[in-house]
Amino acid sequence: MAFHVIETERLTLRPFTPEDADFLYDVFSRPEVARWSGDGVPIADRDEALRRIAGQPKRAGDHPAAGIFHVSVRETGVPAGLVLFAPLPPSEGVDRDDMEVGWHFHPDAWGNGYATEAAQALVDRGFAAGLGEIYAVTHPDNAASQAVCRRLGMTDLGLRSEWYDVELRAFRIDQPRE
């Protein structure tokens, strides 16, 4: 995957490197973050963070807009979280080919609008690459991420089971018509 750096008004998004393992471990070892991700279990150690970083190119896939990005605050360089733009894994027996935007931020970065700002940059990137629609899926109880989806202008599709083999609250945004 090509190296891409994206800058927004307040943030820098770049691919993860092995040097980011301590930060990734710090984020996903926290129950208040991990509960909204994957199986909801905090990661056990730094080695698991390194494995996740190594697996990011495969997870992101080969769409030109895809990637999993480390997010830091431009002014200070302080790491804030991650955003992803990647294929949305369909549930067993479901034939779909969707792209998702997603985010996970360190609790110290919550409440600053960073998730919305970083995700908007990836939505714009996806539309610039020709996608007609982009999805986000959240745990049914994750009101904070659902609020980010609404701030992005996404439509709430309700509870759906087409992805990840679980029931999630899904959101979609369509390519704006000119």
pLDDT of 119-151, one tens digit each? 999 999 999 999 999 999 999 999 999 999 999
* pLDDT computed for residue 1 by the predictor: 38
pLDDT at 75 over 90: yes
> Residue 2: what pLDDT?
47
For 6-174, give the CATH class.
alpha beta
Query: β-strands 6-7, 79-88: how paired?
Result: unpaired
C-alpha–C-alpha distance, residues 145 and 101, integer Å:
11
- Cβ–Cβ under 8 Å, residues 152 and 119: yes
Residue 46 and residue 21 in contact, taking contact as beta carbons nearer than 8 Å:
yes
Q: Is the pLDDT of residue 3 over 60?
A: no
List, in order, residues 6 or more apart from 163 with CB less than 8 Å away.
Answer: 88, 89, 90, 91, 94, 96, 98, 100, 135, 137, 170
> What average pLDDT does the segment 32-57 reach?
89
* Confidence check: pLDDT of 178 > 80: no
Q: Contact 170/146 with Cβ under 8 angstroms? A: no
Strands, sheet with 133-138, edge to edge from the N-terminal-most edge strand: 6-7, 11-15, 67-73, 79-88, 98-105, 133-138, 168-174, 155-160
Say whether pLDDT at 36 is over 90. Answer: no
Helix (H, G, I), strand (E, B) or coil at 133: strand
Of all residues in the chain, what percent carry a pLDDT higher than 90? 86
Q: pLDDT per residue over 10-30, tens digit each? A: 999 999 999 999 999 999 999
pLDDT digits (tens, 9 = 90+) for 145-166: 999 999 999 999 999 999 999 9
Determine the pLDDT at residue 118. 97
The domain segmentation of the chain, as residue ranges, is 6-174
Does residue 2 or residue 111 have the better pLDDT?
111
**With 0-12 CB in 10 A as exposed, 13-18 as middle and 19+ as buried, what is 28?**
buried
Mean pLDDT across the chain: 93
Cα separation of 25 and 52, whole Å?
A: 10
Q: Please check whether residue 164 is in contact with residue 89, taking contact to mean a CB–CB distance below 8 angstroms.
A: yes
